Amino acid sequence: MAAVTAATAVLALGYGVYSGEKQATAQKRALKDQQLAQQRAEALTMSQNRVNRENIKRASQKQPDVAALLAEQQLTRPPRTLLTQQNTFLGT
């Protein structure tokens, strides 16, 4: 009878150790998964913040750079006078 009790105690101890190791492994895996999810969330947040800053910057530009627009127009179009302008409504 003592041998059966001792064997049962050894088996219970072995199962307890095995179960504890299995739980520790699962906990480590869950921690790694959580850290990875946190890193991805932080990267996504940083990306969204950058896009939002760019959108705000674009929206906050109140006046266009008229001088630059006129300079560009003068470089791309030949000079015209009142006598040489064409009727743009008719496409000629």
Contact between residue 87 and residue 80 where contact means Cβ atoms under 8 Å apart: no
In a domain, 88, yes or no: no
- The answer on pLDDT for 2 being more than 70 is yes
DSSP state of 30: H
Contact between residue 87 and residue 81 where contact means Cβ atoms under 8 Å apart: no
Rg (CA), the chain: 38
Residue 10's φ and ψ, nearest 5 degrees, are -65, -45
In a domain, 12, yes or no: yes
* Comparison of pLDDT for 83 and 7, the residue scoring more: 7
In a domain, 13, yes or no: yes
Contacts of 92 (CB under 8 A, 6+ apart): 86
In a domain, 78, yes or no: no
- The answer on pLDDT for 6 being more than 70 is yes
Residue recorded with tokens 């850290």 = 35
Distance CA 83, CA 91 (A): 17
In a domain, 76, yes or no: no
* 10-29 pLDDT per residue, tens: 888 888 888 899 999 999 99
pLDDT recorded at residue 92 = 47
In a domain, 20, yes or no: yes
* 43-64 pLDDT per residue, tens: 999 999 999 999 888 877 767 7
Segments forming the whole domain that contains residue 11? 2-58
In a domain, 47, yes or no: yes
In a domain, 32, yes or no: yes
* Comparison of pLDDT for 76 and 17, the residue scoring more: 17
Count of domains for the chain: 1
